[in-house]
Amino acid sequence: MGSDCDGIRQRSCPVPMAQSDRILLGHGSGGRLSHELMRKVFLPALDNPVLARLDDQAVVDVEGLRLAFTTDSFVVQPLFFPGGDIGSLAVHGTTNDLAMGGAQPLCLSAAFILEEGLEVETLWRVVQSMRQAAAEVGVDVVTGDTKVVERGSADGLFINTSGIGLVPDGVHLSADGARPGDRIVLSGSIGEHGMAVLAQREGLGFEGPVESDSAPLHTLVAAMLQTPQAVHCLRDPTRGGVASALNEMAQSSGVGMTIDERAIPMREAIKGACELLGLDPLYVANEGKLVAIVDTAATEKVVAAMRQHPLGRQAQVIGTVQASSPGVVKMRTSIGTTRIVDMLAGDQLPRIC
């Protein structure tokens, strides 16, 4: 509320409260509200140099070894969706957070919060899916925990996974590593996970299959890191989509970014679904894609290596990093004009018409 509001206007001022006294759903969106929570609550209380980097994973030195450590909670509804389920997602999500630090995943933990009344059959299916996903990644779930809460206190089941990985010598990836002149590379088509979950949740039928892209990215990353010093930052554009991932990297690195709308790969079904629902695919979640900031000289080589990998066949250079407009992401639109791609405050809201 503006400080110039007088008594009467204070009562009528329709200014919503920046400092909400309650947690809103938007605080979990990966947008500005999430960052505000980080800045105002978590960082002041828990501040340390590793946490302050705000990377997807912490990299800590342990007797000469560089270990990556990360944790993530999974609360997706529905539990099963086209292309995946909460179990495989819990393995892929944490594996990918490790991979974005260049780490080879070593092992995972899994903690389950189960709602009273959940069918054991459902839990069994989820755990089988985790087993399969972990086997594909090549990691074991080496420890875990189970809690049961009263009916109504959880939406079926929540999973938390943590992971430890080993960062190879010479690999230093962080969101602040983007430099003017670098290229922005996207590993494949966007918006699939978010739209698959939304379609399943809302019972929306689309022409053509809309499936989650949930997949483990560590082998794709390993292929990219074959070219030494080429990759400067990596992010998996999950919550908040490609737009939020780029904004985070632009802000952390103090650089501007410009992407080309026409270069961004997207499946027709996803494009159509987003058009229909009034959603911008740049903000829709992905679970099997990455955005890389790559040294210009090595871009061709890195993209070629990505295209050899099943999860990088559609890899594309989608933009460039520049010194001007630090912290701002711009996009050259399909008609050749330029606009800003901002970070959203909270979740995307469908427009009325």
- Residues forming contacts to another protein in the complex (CB under 8 A) are 2, 4-5, 8-9, 11-18, 20, 22-26, 32-33, 202, 204, 268, 271-272, 275, 277-278, 328, 333-340, 342, 344-346, 349-353
β-strand partners of 105: 165
For another protein, the closer CB: 295 or 342: 342
Q: In the bound complex, what is the minimum distance in angstroms from residue 234's beta carbon to another protein?
A: 27
Which tokens hold the place of 348? 């995307």
For another protein, the closer CB: 235 or 267: 267
For another protein, the closer CB: 37 or 166: 37
Q: In the bound complex, what is the minimum distance in angstroms from residue 32's beta carbon to another protein?
A: 6
Integer angstrom CA distances of residue 2 from 7, 11, 12, 21, 156:
12, 12, 12, 18, 43
What helix, strand, coil percent values describe the chain, rounded to 5? Answer: 35, 25, 40
CA 93 to chain centre: 8
Q: In the bound complex, what is the minimum distance in angstroms from residue 140's beta carbon to another protein?
A: 39
Q: In the bound complex, what is the minimum distance in angstroms from residue 266's beta carbon to another protein?
A: 9
For another protein, the closer CB: 98 or 279: 279
For another protein, the closer CB: 14 or 64: 14
| Separation between Cα atoms, residue 70 and residue 160, nearest integer Å | 11
Of 227, 226, 217, 234, residue with least CA distance to 293 = 234
Backbone angles phi, psi at 164, to 5 degrees: -120, 140
Q: In the bound complex, what is the minimum distance in angstroms from residue 119's beta carbon to another protein?
A: 21
Q: In the bound complex, what is the minimum distance in angstroms from residue 8's beta carbon to another protein?
A: 8
For another protein, the closer CB: 18 or 62: 18
| Separation between Cα atoms, residue 19 and residue 37, nearest integer Å | 10
Q: In the bound complex, what is the minimum distance in angstroms from residue 171's beta carbon to another protein?
A: 35
CB proximity list for 11: less than 8 A, separation 6 or greater? none
For another protein, the closer CB: 48 or 337: 337
Beta strands in 63-156 (DSSP E): 65-74, 80-81, 84-85, 104-115, 140-149
Q: In the bound complex, what is the minimum distance in angstroms from residue 157's beta carbon to another protein?
A: 23
Q: What is the dihedral of CA 23, 351, 80, 206, to 10 degrees?
A: 180
- How many CB atoms within 10 Å of residue 71? 14
For another protein, the closer CB: 24 or 107: 24
Of 94, 54, 88, 56, residue with least CA distance to 72 = 94
For another protein, the closer CB: 135 or 276: 276
Q: In the bound complex, what is the minimum distance in angstroms from residue 52's beta carbon to another protein?
A: 23
| Separation between Cα atoms, residue 303 and residue 249, nearest integer Å | 20
Of 172, 327, 177, residue with least CA distance to 256 = 327
For another protein, the closer CB: 143 or 333: 333
Q: In the bound complex, what is the minimum distance in angstroms from residue 82's beta carbon to another protein?
A: 19
The order of strands in the sheet holding 316-322 is 231-235, 291-294, 183-186, 316-322, 256-260, 329-332, 338-340
